[in-house]
Amino acid sequence: MSAKKEAEKKFLIEVLGVYWTLTALWRIKSDDYSNRAKKAEAYDILLQKYREHFTSATLEDLKKKINNLRTNFRNELRKMDKSTKSGAGTEDLHEYKRSLGGMDGRMTVSSFLINGSTRPSNSSNDGASIRRKLQKSPGN
């Protein structure tokens, strides 16, 4: 991977860390989630961070990037969950863990991707079960 791509990846993980602290943007059960003023303030903070690397970015660009990251992450988690249900070996699970593109091993930063969803907590796809799967896989 080129140095530029590696720096961008590292920066996006930092942006996700800031996003994670701004629960008004993703935690559905938060009182601030439905407060437009708090959401706007949170987006301003996040956009300021995002513009450290992408100087001409708009709020729309930021929202698209966050949505793409969340969608890709959830798709990878579904693949991982499906592979464990199908009886796939630990090698396959490890492959999915690596394909998360820098998010593996960072479940504290990326937990909003799981917990911010509308899935019921008794689902086999809840955050705790996914974290256990990541912890059990080789390479941890």
* pLDDT averaged per 10 residues, the chain (length 140): 89 91 92 95 96 96 93 84 67 52 45 47 42 47
Alpha carbon distances (Å) from 30 to 25, 106, 135: 9, 23, 28
Rg, the chain, Cα only = 16
Instruction: Write down the pTM of the prediction.
Output: 0.64
What pLDDT is stored for residue 37 in this prediction?
96
CB of 113 closer than 8 Å to CB of 66: no
Q: For residues 93 and 87, is the Cβ–Cβ distance under 8 A? A: no
Q: Which pLDDT does position 55 carry in this prediction?
A: 95
The DSSP secondary structure of 83-133, one letter per residue, reads HHHTT--HHHHHHHHHTTTT-TT-HHHHHHHHHTS---TTSTTSHHHHHHH
Residues 6+ away with beta carbon under 8 Å from 99: 76, 79
CB atoms within 10 A of CB 33: 16
> Could you tell me the residue ranges of all domains in the chain?
3-136
Q: Nearest CA to 100 among 72, 81, 127?
A: 72
- The residue among 94, 122, 91, 97 whose CA lies nearest residue 110 is 97
Q: Contact, 53 vs 14, CB < 8 A?
A: no
